Homo-oligomer: A and B are copies of this chain.
Amino acid sequence: MAGSTLGELFRVTNFGESHGPAIGCVVDGCPPGLALSEADIQFELDRRRPGTSRHVTQRQEPDQVEILSGVYQGVTTGTPIALLIRNQDARSKDYGNIAETFRPGHADYTYWHKYGVRDPRGGGRSSARLTAPTVAAGAIARKWLKEHYGVQVRGYMSALGPIEIPFASWDAVPENPFYAPNADIVPQLEAYMDELRRDGDSIGARIEVVAENVPVGLGEPIYDRLDADIAYAMMGLNAVKGVEIGAGFASVAQRGSEHGDELNPAGFASNHAGGVLGGISTGQPITVSIAIKPTSSIRTGRQSIDKAGEPVEVSTLGRHDPCVGIRATPIAESLMALVLIDHVLRHRALCADVRVSTPVIPGQAPGSPTL
Contact = CB atoms under 8 A, between A and B. Distances in A.
Contact of A351 (B78, B149, B234, B241): B78
Contacts of A190: none
A61 interface: no
Contacts of A117: 32-33, 72-73, 75-78, 365, 368
Interface in A250-277: 250-265, 269, 272-274, 276-277
A181 interface: no
A235 interface: yes
19 contacts: A3-B80, A3-B220, A11-B13, A13-B80, A15-B69, A16-B82, A77-B125, A109-B282, A110-B282, A114-B367, A204-B253, A217-B367, A231-B235, A235-B245, A241-B247, A242-B245, A242-B248, A260-B294, A263-B304
B119 A72 contact: yes
B294 A9 contact: no
Contacts of A235: 225, 227-228, 230-232, 243, 245
Interface residues of A, number: 179
Contacts of A201: 255-257
Given A14-B223, A249-B249, A260-B298, 14 more contacts: A9-B346, A22-B82, A31-B351, A114-B218, A114-B347, A161-B253, A204-B259, A223-B233, A227-B235, A229-B232, A231-B235, A241-B274, A256-B294, A310-B362
A280 interface: yes
